[in-house]
Amino acid sequence: MSPAAVTHLVRCPSCGSTNRVADEKMKSGMAPVCARCRTPLIGSPGSGHPITITDSNFASEVQKSSIPVLLDFWAGWCGPCRMIAPIVEELAGELDGKVKVGKLDVDDNQVTASQFGVRSIPTLLVFNGGREVGRIVGVQSKASILLKLKPFIQ
């Protein structure tokens, strides 16, 4: 992998470790597995699952994204966040390739959460061309979220 290669950080659903997944491997059809426990990784680009967004990869994954981004600001202790999580998961599958869907844990990534003034969770931000173009606060229906995304989906 060359130094300029694009990589994504993907958290293992089984052991929780963070893995670097090269974009070129994803595009070639390879299915990534966790380096620690060998569990297939969900949340890889093109997997139909949300990707893990952090303070360190926010610029490359969101601001420089060539497609619109739906970013879920959440926390593990938040009941409403757990309520909306299945909807975010469904949207990641349905909009794969049209919209990048990501999740940002506000407890672990306070810089980005504070940069966008996220005061309550869940908060879903819509980005297009690297700029925030929509904000959804609280638990919303799938239809309501899709309505907010519709102007940016081609």
Protein fold of 48-152: Glutaredoxin (3.40.30)
Give the active site residues. 78, 81
Token pair for 141 = 């229906």
pTM over 0.75? The answer is no
Q: What is the pLDDT of residue 108?
A: 93
- Max mean pLDDT among 15-24, 51-60, 115-124 falls in 115-124
Q: What is the C-alpha radius of gyration for the chain, rounded to an integer number of angstroms?
A: 15
DSSP class per residue in the chain: --TT--EEEEE-TTT--EEEEEHHHHHTT---B-TTT-PBPSSSTTSSSPEE--TTTHIIIIIT-SS-EEEEEE-TT-HHHHHHHHHHHHHHHHTTTTSEEEEEETTT-HHHHHHTT--SSSEEEEEETTEEEEEEES---HHHHHHHHGGG--
Q: What CATH number has the domain spanning 1-46?
A: 2.30.30
Q: Which of 28-32, 65-69, 121-125 is modeled with the greatest confidence? A: 121-125
pLDDT-derived band at 138 (thresholds 50, 70, 90) equals very high
Q: What is the pLDDT of residues 28-63, one digit of tens each?
A: 666 778 888 887 765 555 567 888 999 999 998 999
Which has the higher per-residue pLDDT, 95 or 18? 95
- As a whole number, mean pLDDT of residues 119-135 equals 95
Q: Assign 1 a pLDDT band (cuts: 50, 70, 90).
A: very low
The residue ranking higher by pLDDT, 93 or 139, is 139
For the chain, domain boundaries: 1-46, 48-152
Query: Does residue 73 register a pLDDT over 90?
Result: yes
**Mean per-residue pLDDT, 76-90:** 93
* pLDDT (average), residues 18-22: 82
